Structure 1
Amino acid sequence: MAQFGIPHGILGWIRIFSFTKKKQNIFNYHPWYINESEKIEKVHIQFWKNKEKYFIVKIKDVSNRSEAKKLTNIYITIKENILPLLKNNEYYWKDIINCTIFNMENKKLGIVINLIETPSNDILVINNKSKNNINKKNILIPFIKNKVIKIVNINKKVIIVNWNYTFE
């Protein structure tokens, strides 16, 4: 849902970078959890402030810069059951990861390993481990419904795309 950045000041405040569509919505989801030293810990936010391009938070029991620095680059997660229910044919990015991509000719193109958000449309990052893929490059496919993305079946973890890709 988010990631801790660098400390902000000397009193234990730290930057966070929200991965939610509306960045401020990260504060609608609580509690937050972090995976620190193979142990899941709950994070209690006392205060937060909006800086122009990021947010800063004050976490309970983090009172100085050194303590805040230990959280740098740690990902913030939430329990899945607090996410809003979606309408039919809607899904979260997390649902798209690990879907298998096939083109219209039923040729497997690979597995979704990431998504990239751009101003015009999202981009699927497809890992193709085919022996023909000599350069080991990922395939980037624009997530444009009805034109490029024909079918998304989250239950079967399959996406059908109108995309022809050849390795050269």
Structure 2
Amino acid sequence: MPVNPVVLGTISSAYGISGWLNIISFTQNAASIFEYQPWFIKKLNTWLDVILDEWKYNYHNKLIIKINSIENREAAQLFANCNIIVDASQLPTLSDGDYYWKDLIGCQVETINSYQLGKVIDLIETGSNDVMVVQANQQHSTKINELLIPFIYGQVIKNVDLATHIIKVDWDPEF
């Protein structure tokens, strides 16, 4: 069981009739998910170790896996929609200025003028730059629930302090 669980992907559905499963990797390079072992899944509040027999790309160039002792479609389907989880200790240490999304979620976001915007609840990859989804504070003057703030370091993001869980942004609270 992982001490500090991190979701690296998800098992989406059964593939074929021989117990293979489609997976979606959340790692930057999809196949990098296989560098992090062991995998765990949580099913009905029980942690299960996942022992991979094999992985490959299918003819649609999508990742598929074969889990030890899963021999048919019905058994494979029981794993559909389960997250692929590893312990955070397996992740490489990042350089200064680089962050894992898991470390940003839950941080408070405030403007450079110390106006409290809210808390990071998600991040979205858009292709050009990542976007923070911030659950707006209840006292936010525009009465909106969520703010979308581009994660552009230097221009919008002025400081990320993981020790205090505060992200300083140059952002108009009325935008």
**TM norm structure 1:** 0.93
Does the CA contact (< 8 Å) of 2:117 and 2:140 recur in 1?
A: no
Return the alpha-carbon distance in structure 2 between the equivalents of residues 142 and 45 of structure 1: 37
Partner of 1:25: 32
Q: Give the superposition deviation at 1:72.
A: 1.1
Q: Structure 1 residues 127-136 or 92-101, which shifts more? A: 127-136
Q: Name the amino acid aligned to 1:100.
A: Q
The alpha-carbon distance between structure 1 residues 149 and 132, as it changes in their structure 2 partners (threshold 3 A), is closer
User: Which of 45, 50, 56 lines up with 1:43 in the alignment?
Assistant: 50
Q: Deviations over 1:125-158 (max 9, x none)?
A: 0011414467543100011010000001111111
Q: Name the amino acid aligned to 1:110.
A: G
User: Which of 144, 156, 170 lines up with 1:148 in the alignment?
Assistant: 156
The question of 1:125 aligning with 2:133 is answered yes
Percentage identity across aligned positions?
36
Partner of 1:13: 20
Does the CA contact (< 8 Å) of 2:122 and 2:134 recur in 1?
A: yes
Q: Deviations over 1:74-101 (max 9, x none)?
A: 1111011111112223221110110100
The structure richer in strand per residue is: 2
Return the alpha-carbon distance in structure 2 between the equivalents of residues 38 and 133 of structure 1: 40
For 1:56, what is the secondary structure of its paired residue?
strand
Return the alpha-carbon distance in structure 2 between the equivalents of residues 151 and 90 of structure 1: 12
Task: Note the residue ranges of structure 1 that are not aligned, 5 or more in a row.
Answer: none
Q: Deviations over 1:54-113 (max 9, x none)?
A: 310000111111111111111111011111112223221110110100011100111000
**TM norm structure 2:** 0.90
User: Which of 82, 86, 91 lines up with 2:94 in the alignment?
Assistant: 86
User: Which runs of 4 or more aligned residues in structure 1 lie more than 3 Å from their structure 2 counterparts after TM superposition?
Assistant: 131-136
Mapping for residues 131-142 of structure 1, pairs under 5 Å: 131-132=139-140, 136-142=144-150
Q: Name the amino acid aligned to 1:66.
A: E
